[in-house]
Amino acid sequence: MHPQTMLPTSAIWSMGSSSRRRIEEVALSRWMATIGNAARSRAAPGRQALARSVASVHAATAGVTSELGMRATYQLVWTASQQRDLTSALAHAERYASAPNAKPSQRAEGRWAAAVVTQQLGSPEQARAAFDGWLRQFGADPELEKLVLDVQTRRAKL
């Protein structure tokens, strides 16, 4: 955000709590997107610092109990994956998919991410089983057409 377009802190604190909360959510969401983009860049310096930043947002937003925490958890899947910390990436994907407040689309995304990370772990049998399980559970959902195609493509390459 351009410094001249930022609201002064006093203006933010004089707002109602719901407006303040929304501003915080938007700011954190933009910050997480920036961190995620930088973490995915191979040339990005300080990728470990970025991962710690995403983890801090995850912790500050009460983990998977809030929508922002859910987004931070999903970002942690890909941040850990890019750092080749696949065990951690898989744990984050499973936490995301199994969160009590996860929407059906988030459960599908989380299970898909877990299958992709399983594939990255280098076990074709386990990846095949993960993709097959995903297709059994979500393959008939017309809203997940792009993910279904991705899973089928990845499964065919195993």
pLDDT confidence of residue 76: 86
Residue range 45-92, pLDDT digits in tens: 556 666 666 666 656 555 667 787 888 889 889 988 988 999 999 999
Task: Answer yes or no: are the C-beta atoms of 68 and 61 closer than 8 Å.
Answer: yes
What is the CA 143 to chain-centroid distance, rounded?
19
Q: What is the pLDDT of residue 132?
A: 98
> Which candidate, 47, 113, 115, places its Cα nearest to that of 78?
113
* Residue that has been written with the tokens 């969401």 in this structure: 29
d(CA 119, CA 129): 10
Mean pLDDT for the stretch of residues 32-50: 59
The answer to whether residue 107 scores a pLDDT higher than 50 is yes
Pick the closest to residue 38 from 7, 83, 1, 2 (CA basis). Answer: 83
- Ordered DSSP codes for the chain: --GGGSPPHHHHHTS-HHHHHHHHHHHHHHHHHHHHHHHH-TT-TTHHHHHHHHHHHHHHTTGGGSHHHHHHHHHHHHHHHHTT-HHHHHHHHHHHHT-TT--HHHHHHHHHHHHHHHHHTT-HHHHHHHHHHHHHHHTT-GGGHHHHHHHHHHHHT-
